[in-house]
Structure 1
Amino acid sequence: MTGFDEAGFSNPVQPAPGFAVLNDSPIGEGGNEDLLESTVTAGNLAELILASRGAAPFTVAIDAGWGMGKSSLLRRLDTALRGDPAVSTVWFNAWTSERAGAVEGLIKSVLLSFDRNVLRRAVRGTLRRTHVVGALRAASLVASSFFGLGQVVDSVWRALAVDGKSRNEIKTVVRDMALAWLAKGGGGTGQRLLVVFVDDLDRCSDQRIFEVCEAIKLYLDVPGIVFVLACDQAVLWRAVGNDRVSDGVRYLEKIIQVSYPIPPPSSALARNLVDGYVQRSGTAHLFDDSMKTLLIERTGRNPRRIKRLINSFVLEHHLGRGGNELGAENLVKIILLRHFYPEFYNMVINSAEGDMAARFLDYHDFREHVRHDTEPDPARQERLFAATGVKSPKPDASKAELSECLEEVTQELPVSFPELARDKEFIALLRSLPLGTAQWRRLRQPLVADSSPYSGYPVGRTPRRTDTFAGMRVLWIDDEPDGPGYLMDDLRAGGARVEAVTNRDEAIEILPRLRPTALVSDIRRGDDPQAGFTDLRYLRERGLYHGPAFFYTGQVTPARLAQAEELDADGVTTDPGEVRAWLTGLAAAG
């Protein structure tokens, strides 16, 4: 196997363990087992459909969001139904059949399910309607009836789909075919039934969704046919209701008679699913119970999301770009951190204000001491108060004094810390990383060398030129201007004039010439944790600048938010995308 060194050059390495990517095929395909017991659910649904065959036509919706196993359940349901000799099934994938018209594709799928004799009788019946199909199309039908089933279906469609008048005959022709097919009887004790599975409807365009629904209601609402739709009904409601959900609900009530919402798997089934996935991918030894719980709950128990996260690890470990020296055990934890706690992950790898992971654990240690009387770690406590600038409590401090001290510390730390301190899986994940080691310093770097934390355009590529920021003049104050350089380049490509300075004196010198429409500043510079606030206050008080101001910094704390509001600043963020969004809104407002 070939890996990559820190500079990105190829480097032969020992072959990686036998990790394997998980496929996205439904249950029963590609070696996928039924880890969620969907076969039982499918059997129960099949019993309901078979017991209700006398009520056909009707439509059943298998309702769930993306990745929750709709296609797998449909495959299991198909298998269960085909156990009855009187049942025929046909599949129509609304998404992959986009090239043909929805009405045409769906109706042809149904017609192809009828046998040759039924179709030929339909041809003769259609011929008797020459006032509808016309003499030339009638001749074409006669000729096609001597050929294969597909050609007969194509000819019937061409004869009936020319104009509105002939299209009115489609339902009559399909109904006659269905009645003739039913009259022949099935191979079992019950009456014949045709079950049409429509998959991936919610992936289609709004127009496509509407066309499929119209085809079911206007042309295929005939005896002996049951439709089973795999869809996210919320998507369908918006599509057919033109974003008015209530209208969409009322419309679909006329088409869908039975709806089965797939519930999220139980805790036991979700654990069984994850156990099966990590076994098949060869990663079982890397996931402890806490990590499995994190994987289950943070994905919303969504099977496809769980697969994708495991596959992310397998891919990055196999490619080895920048991650070989981390070890599989640490790499999988970093990927969990990146996927489930992206804001914290970005803070860890981008913050110039120290090791934020270690700072969080220092905060959590003190918080537990104050709230639950745990034994404090003196070294952690000393680091925490030195970093926040809060006076350390006395050794004999009372409970009330410690609580007050905790509140002061919290004001100087990222706003996300209190919520994260209540997340047991997050804390366990963070504690399992090798903090304070050389390996941890490597872990704090982006997984891909020279990657940019800003996703506005690919690393190494010149931003696309637009007029998004045309006419804007931005003054950027940062003692390390190369840090946000990618964002400045993006603004310039959008038509803005951006001037970067490193301190207040340089800003004062350039203000009269630039006359900025927006100011962006860092907060901490060197040993001064308040430099950005001090500068803006100075400029405001002396009437040098009164326009919009934004702070782009390594961490957002309650104290910083309060200070920004006091200075009439417009925002504080660690997210470059948010800075861009603010400036985009400012440019649009003129």
Structure 2
Amino acid sequence: MWSDNETSEDLLGFKVHADLLIDVIKDDSVLPITIGVFGDWGSGKSSILKIIQEKFDKDEEEEDTLCIYFNGWTFEGYDDAKAALLNSILKGLEDNKKLSAEIKESIKEKSKKLWKSINWMRGAGMVLKNIALPAVSAYFTGGLSLAPFAMQKLAEWNLDSPEKLIEKMSSDEGREFFDSLKKNEENENSNINPVAEFRDDFSDLLEATNFKRLVVIIDDLDRCKPERIIENLEAIKLFVNVPRTAFVIGADPRIVRHAIEFKYGDTNSIQGDNSRIIDDYLEKLIQLPYSLPKLSEPEVETYISMLICKREIGNEKFKGIHSNFQEYRIKDKYSAYGLLNIESLLQPEDFEKVKSNIISIPSLVPLITQSLYGNPRQIKRFLNTYILRQRLSNVARLSDFNTSILAKLMLLEYSEIRLFRQLFEWQLNQEGKPQEIILLEKICDEGNSNEQSKEVENAGFGDWSKEKIIKWLHIEPKLVDVDLRDYFWISRDRIATSISASSLIPPIVKALFNELNQEMPTALIKRVIGEKFVKLNSLEKDSFLNILSSNIKKSPKEKKSYEIFNYMLEMELEDVTTYYMEALKVIKKSDIDPALGVSLRRFNNHPVMGHFFNELFSDNRSKISKAYNLKTK
């Protein structure tokens, strides 16, 4: 089994990306800079960030660079992102072995002023957030705006209610305060810029450290809630213009865009061209966006080979393999690093262990790459499930169990779960040997791929006519005369429920589900589905529909998931019918709100759902059945 933790051990050949970013950071002419390492969930962003951190922390040539690693998700519960970020930087300085005791003492003194600025901003923010400050200000000042130093004074009073603030403002001290406010407003030169002052102080602190540059790595930003993502971005903005600094942010850009829209979408400032404003926000914050490419087929084969090799021979022996791989990757960045490269480096018994587990991998790689979108986390998750089921087959003492068949079926399960379930239904009533799969394989043994796709569709298997599924049917071993019951028995977690307990849901899917699960106008729901759902890849779409279907099973009385499914049906989106029917088949009709029956009547003539609904509600005994069958004039 393999853990899902980020690591600086490069099994992907991603060091080249890290080296490029390090080279940019060490170019003093481009500092200060903010770099966005962008990629989908599980694409390897964290591993690249860890490689960068390790380079700056452990390489003796980088003594003049301070690198701080900041995990945005870890500070999810922190009351203020600016304070959390500053705390991480100051702690990194205090704990740094490169600094003398004298310099650390100087830093502590200088940090007091920074903390005062941060606490002032936090206090001012809390006053503004928790008290009706604009209204109170207008009442006492006749419409005067509150300058930064005025907010500082209010924050220093440390009041926790509007009543106490009004009482304070009504006192002699309050009157003196507003008298000074009037005088200072007349004298524009007296206004201070707290952000500029903070940056000056922070720059002064960095100067005292004698470091040539400060590198702040911010990881897991896309795991945070939308509000926290924005707070972290605003905190980064506070620091970014400080000389000699580089901020490296790892995130799924779709999640960040979603957070910006979530925060500002209902304000007047972002009405109109939302995408342009979101782009402007990101462009001002991120000077260098760097998008990670998806793994190619040779890279997927290499990654799987390296994972299996390390598991089979252990960490110590693997060090030599890993070192050889890094040297190989410098010379050849395009070919797979596999069995042929490993054989001469291992003892015969170790090589046999690796070989027995890797031997079927090359034939599966094209489909693994296509089905799992070259995503390292999905590949590791696939292998973990594969190993777990392999172990289960051994524990259960299943005879004639072929692990190559297991891997082939799992590819269908991961890439097309609805077809996997259909295959389960076929074999369930045919003693494990479905005639349908025999017919499909026979079609695919004849003619070219284009003809095979048409023949599969003409034979009544339209869902199986995709090019990807045709390729899957071609993969050895063939399933003709194979009893599939044992293979589905060990996969029953995926048959019984839409999402297995170990399943990981991409953050972009969670964000979209949470967004659509709010109350909003029909037009807006359809717009969000049209703009965001359709742009997800197949795995993400399946994950979203799984959540939606699972939500109906778990809470059948709640209307929202039904409504989203209905809008998707209207928009004729692919695969919606399968997941919707799956949910409706297993819940009690008495648990469904009868009002839904009325809304479902509009799908009477739907090519798939019309017949399904007519059958489902034909008994006319439940309230929803009566509502669905109610005749209208």
- Cα deviation digits, residues 393-438 of structure 1 (max 9, x gap): xxxxxxxxxx9x99798445121233258732x0233x5145324x
In 1, distance between residues paired with 2:407 and 2:50? 33
2:22 matched residue in structure 1: 46
Q: Which has the higher helix share?
A: 2
The structure 1 residue matched to 2:592, chosen from 487, 494, 503, is 494
For residue 160 of structure 1, report the CA deviation from its aligned partner.
Answer: 6.0
Change (3 A) 1:295 1:217: same
1:22 matched residue in structure 2: 2
Change (3 A) 1:58 1:357: farther
1:315 matched residue in structure 2: 388
2:105 matched residue in structure 1: 117
2:204 matched residue in structure 1: 179
- Cα deviation digits, residues 514-551 of structure 1 (max 9, x gap): xx9699xxxxxxxxxxxxxxxxxxxxxxxxxx996589
2:352 matched residue in structure 1: none
2:449 maps to 1:362: no
- Cα deviation digits, residues 84-117 of structure 1 (max 9, x gap): 1110011110011111122220122223344533
Matched residue SS, 1:198: strand
CA RMSD of aligned residues (A): 4.5
Matched residue SS, 1:331: helix
For residue 65 of structure 1, report the CA deviation from its aligned partner.
Answer: 0.9
Matched-pair contact (CA < 8 Å) for 1:22–1:307: yes
Residues 442-481 of structure 1 correspond to what in structure 2 (within 5 A)?
442-443=486-487, 447-448=491-492, 452=496, 464=555, 466=557, 468=559
Residue type at the aligned position of 1:418: S
For residue 336 of structure 1, report the CA deviation from its aligned partner.
Answer: 2.2
2:413 maps to 1:338: yes
The structure 2 residue matched to 1:91, chosen from 65, 69, 73, is 69
Matched-pair contact (CA < 8 Å) for 2:371–2:414: no
Change (3 A) 1:219 1:572: farther
Matched residue SS, 2:210: coil
- Cα deviation digits, residues 307-352 of structure 1 (max 9, x gap): 0001112223334587844453433332222112322211111147
In 1, distance between residues paired with 2:372 and 2:470? 15
Matched-pair contact (CA < 8 Å) for 2:72–2:224: yes
Change (3 A) 1:176 1:484: closer
In 1, distance between residues paired with 2:480 and 2:35? 53
2:464 maps to 1:413: no
In 2, distance between residues paired with 1:207 and 1:372? 49
Matched-pair contact (CA < 8 Å) for 2:35–2:287: yes
Matched residue SS, 1:66: coil
In 1, distance between residues paired with 2:246 and 2:554? 53
In 2, distance between residues paired with 1:200 and 1:22? 20
Residue type at the aligned position of 1:414: F
Change (3 A) 1:262 1:586: farther
Matched residue SS, 1:228: strand
For residue 47 of structure 1, report the CA deviation from its aligned partner.
Answer: 1.6
In 1, distance between residues paired with 2:26 and 2:48? 17
Unaligned runs of 5+ in 2: 94-102, 126-150, 156-192, 266-273, 313-355, 500-545, 561-580, 617-623
Residue type at the aligned position of 1:90: I
Matched-pair contact (CA < 8 Å) for 2:107–2:209: no
2:331 matched residue in structure 1: none
Residues 222-237 of structure 1 correspond to what in structure 2 (within 5 A)?
222-237=242-257
Unaligned runs of 5+ in 1: 1-20, 127-152, 187-191, 374-402, 470-482, 499-515, 520-545, 552-560, 575-581
Matched-pair contact (CA < 8 Å) for 2:301–2:365: yes
Matched residue SS, 1:317: helix
2:279 maps to 1:279: no
The structure 2 residue matched to 1:268, chosen from 298, 308, 314, is 298
1:201 matched residue in structure 2: 221
1:427 matched residue in structure 2: 473
Residue type at the aligned position of 1:27: T
For residue 73 of structure 1, report the CA deviation from its aligned partner.
Answer: 0.6
For residue 300 of structure 1, report the CA deviation from its aligned partner.
Answer: 0.9
Change (3 A) 1:154 1:327: farther
Residue type at the aligned position of 2:463: S
The structure with more radius of gyration: 1
2:53 maps to 1:78: yes
Q: Which has the higher strand share?
A: 1
1:67 matched residue in structure 2: 42
The structure 2 residue matched to 1:102, chosen from 81, 88, 96, is 81
Matched residue SS, 1:229: strand
For residue 453 of structure 1, report the CA deviation from its aligned partner.
Answer: 6.4
* TM-score (normalizing by structure 2): 0.56
The structure 2 residue matched to 1:162, chosen from 94, 109, 123, is 123
Change (3 A) 1:573 1:103: farther
Matched residue SS, 1:194: strand
Matched residue SS, 2:299: helix
Change (3 A) 1:46 1:454: closer
Matched residue SS, 2:484: helix
Change (3 A) 1:227 1:357: farther
In 2, distance between residues paired with 1:435 and 1:443? 14
